[in-house]
């Protein structure tokens, strides 16, 4: 039984969590199909195939961790921008509510 999942996956297809989930689901379906047979008969190369599947799953885990870190960094940057905008907006509101006292302008009126 040739591993269809391994031959179909290219690294660019694993650039989202959804694609990782799809590839993992395909692998599970393939394993379930093999195990659902009425009688399980070990085939030549099963051990080798299982070894490659383990490596593939580890690669999925690493890719998922990288995607998660990337998404967290993106969220952090977006939060910083929102906080800066909120801070700038609250400063503008304070200036509108309490305009700064300008002594030079006050002197013009007293002269």
Going from the first residue of the chain to its last (111 residues), give the mean pLDDT of each consecutive group of 10, the final group possibly shorter. 54 76 86 80 85 87 90 93 87 68 61 54
pLDDT at 49: 84
Q: If DSSP codes are grouped into helix, strand and coil, which group holds residue 58?
A: helix
Rounded Cα–Cα distance for residues 49 and 55 (Å): 10
> If you count them, how many residues does the chain have?
111
pLDDT at 17: 83
Rounded Cα–Cα distance for residues 82 and 87 (Å): 8
Q: Are 26 and 5 in contact (CB under 8 A)?
A: yes
User: Which residues are within 8 A (CB) of 64 and not within 5 positions of it... i.e. 6 or more apart?
Assistant: 17, 20
Kindly report whether the global pTM for this prediction surpasses the value 0.85: no
């Amino acid at each position: 039984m040739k591993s269809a999942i391994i031959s179909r996956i290219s690294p660019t297809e694993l650039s989202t969590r959804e694609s990782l989930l799809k590839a993992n689901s395909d692998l599970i379906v393939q394993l379930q199909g093999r195990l659902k047979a009425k009688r399980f008969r070990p085939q030549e190369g099963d051990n080798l195939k299982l070894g490659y599947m383990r490596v593939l799953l580890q690669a999925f885990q690493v890719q998922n961790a990288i995607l998660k870190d990337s998404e967290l960094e993106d969220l952090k940057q977006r939060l910083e921008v929102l906080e800066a905008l909120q801070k700038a907006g609250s400063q503008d509101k304070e200036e509108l509510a309490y305009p700064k006292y300008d002594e030079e302008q006050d002197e013009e009126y007293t002269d």
